[in-house]
Amino acid sequence: MRNLALMLALAGLLSTATAAPAKKKPAAPKKTAQQILAASPASDWRGLDAENTLLMELGTGQVIIELAPRFAPAHAANIRALARGGYWDGLAVLRVQDNFVTQWGDPNGEDATKAKPLPTGANAKLPAEFSAPLDRVGKAAGFAALPDADGWAPRTGFMQGFPVAADPKASKAWLAHCYGMVGAGRGDAVDSSNGAELYVVIGQAPRGLDLNITLVGRVLKGMELLSALPRGTAAMGFYDKPEQRTGIQRVRLLAEVPAAERPALQVLKTESSTWTQLLDARRYRSGWFVHSPGYIDVCSATVPTRPIPQPPK
């Protein structure tokens, strides 16, 4: 028994001597998210890209959508052509599935004899754009990787405000299906989307759709107008009666809108120090929080927007 006790004691000493030192928990940020944003320099913010921003007018207000041409260049170009041609004007929200998506387009899109014609310059068929070459969206292009592990991809991070997943070994990157992301609906064929029918994620991030559908952008403002719509009662959340649908008054490309009518909005740069501080503030909670997770995932942090600050009078 003494020999056994001695062996156990020695084993304990050896394990203590060889064990890696415990990582010291980072101190919780001293500033709240609101304080970090209030102290952010003007250089950490950017304006809207007029050639890649859509304004969707509903009866209840305006939805602002930012396109992602770096990830889906063909779809972004087609969506610009659709908007310039007034394709969505007078169409409708067709589907609202709880904890999943809100989808809009042509109610007669499945019937070739009744479908609204695509405007001049818009293509009926496009290649699938599920991912992009990593060198197109790498660090040099502004990709800021997160140190946090992800269950869906070897690496995640943000680029130009978009949540991005990447696989360095496969040399590819793709947009992640986070809340507020906009995708192009498709059928069974992988190349059956053209951007005429779009959806936005309104529930918990369905990351299983990553690399299966072309994501084309994200909603910058107006998510409450799309996420709070009545849920469809037919299969998959579709509306089974025309009167249940929410009409779309018009969709315009920001570049086509007179300067005086454009929304005065700025977006925080995700390559900025302010964004890095905000991520840490979300990882390491303090104040009301009893437990701080010390972790975030790419879909748990929303990139802030703000009205363009007015100069003091």
pLDDT tens digit string along 187-243? 999 999 999 999 999 999 999 999 999 999 999 999 999 999 999 999 999 999 999
- Name the residue type at position 39: A
Tell me the CB-side half-sphere exposure of residue 71, using CA atoms within 13 A: 33
Range of lowest pLDDT (6-10, 148-152, 291-295): 6-10
Mean pLDDT of the chain: 90
Alpha-carbon distance of 200 to 216, in angstroms, equals 10
pTM comes to 0.89
pLDDT tens digit string along 72-117? 999 999 999 999 999 999 999 999 999 999 999 999 999 999 999 9
Contacts of 94 (CB under 8 A, 6+ apart): 103, 104, 105, 107, 238, 239, 245
pLDDT bucket at 251, cuts 50 / 70 / 90: very high
Q: Which two tokens stand for residue 5?
A: 């006790």
**Judging by DSSP bridges, how do beta strands 45-46 and 265-268 pair with one another?**
antiparallel
Instruction: Output b/e per residue, 204-234; b: 16+ Cβ within 10 A.
Output: ebbbebbbebbbbbbbbbbbebbbebeebee
Contacts of 292 (CB under 8 A, 6+ apart): 28, 283, 284, 285, 286
Alpha-carbon distance of 300 to 178, in angstroms, equals 8
pLDDT confidence of residue 6: 33
Specify whether the CB–CB gap between 216 and 184 falls below 8 A: yes
pLDDT confidence of residue 302: 92
Bridge partner list, 247:
92
Range of lowest pLDDT (41-50, 103-112, 131-140, 264-273): 131-140
pLDDT confidence of residue 138: 65
pLDDT confidence of residue 135: 83
Strand ranges across the sheet with 144-145: 132-133, 172-175, 162-167, 155-159, 144-145
> Structural domain boundaries of the chain?
29-307
pLDDT confidence of residue 25: 55
Specify whether the CB–CB gap between 166 and 154 falls below 8 A: yes
pLDDT confidence of residue 71: 96
Q: Which residue has the higher pLDDT, 23 or 196?
A: 196
Give the domain 29-307 fold. Cyclophilin (2.40.100)
Query: At residue 277, does pLDDT exceed 90?
Result: yes
Share of the chain above pLDDT 70, in %: 89
Specify whether the CB–CB gap between 163 and 279 falls below 8 A: no
